[in-house]
Chain A
């Protein structure tokens, strides 16, 4: 699994039937220092995550299709958790959670 940030979503009317009824999220995988780790991917949503959320991403088919309850489907990635805290070397990794901006 990887840590990622939801950066948007994909609207597709014509898609495989197993993808109907599940959000397709654009997720940018991240390194532990918060920088981008490769290119953004599209993952089906199993936990009602939204844009801006820091999430747990599985990039393996069986776990992805199990998480979204669509067995034997063409699904290779899914968002399976919304992260509340990341700790690295015994310290909270605050750079993943920027303070909310005042509006």
Chain B
């Protein structure tokens, strides 16, 4: 999983039917020091409550479609947690 911040949202009228009713959020991946880590991506939302500006963590790959089973949602990135607190201690 990786850290990220919700920075936007996209809408699509025409899309794969299995994406219907799923929110599509734009996420900027972040380092633990809150610096951008790569380019923004579009994520489905496995928490169904992640909102603009929130610090989240997301799961990539095939596993990111598992929160929606048995529906086979065509996603490769899904928000799976909303971060309350980070503890970072680098050596």
- Is residue B40 contacting chain A, with contact meaning CB distance below 8 A? no
A51 close to B89 (CB less than 8 A): yes
Q: Interface size bucket, B side? A: 35 or more
A45 to nearest B CB, angstroms?
12
Give the residues from 2 to 50 in chain A that come closer than 8 angstroms, CB to CB, to chain B. Answer: 5, 7-16, 19, 24, 26, 28, 39-43
A23 to nearest B CB, angstroms?
11
- Is residue B2 contacting chain A, with contact meaning CB distance below 8 A? yes
Q: For the complex, give the distance between the alpha carbons of A7 and B90 in Å.
A: 5
Q: For the complex, give the distance between the alpha carbons of A65 and B67 in Å.
A: 13
A74 close to B59 (CB less than 8 A): yes
A40 close to B83 (CB less than 8 A): no
Q: Interface size bucket, A side? A: 20 to 34
Q: For the complex, give the distance between the alpha carbons of A41 and B31 in Å.
A: 8
CB < 8 Å: which of B60, B65, B67 contacts A16? Answer: B67
Residues of chain A within 8 A (CB-CB) of B1 are 24, 41-43, 75-77
A14 close to B49 (CB less than 8 A): yes
B89 close to A61 (CB less than 8 A): no
- Is residue A52 contacting chain B, with contact meaning CB distance below 8 A? yes
B83 close to A61 (CB less than 8 A): no
Please provide the 3 A-B residue pairs with the shortest distance between their CB atoms, ordered closest to farther. Answer: A15-B81, A61-B63, A42-B1
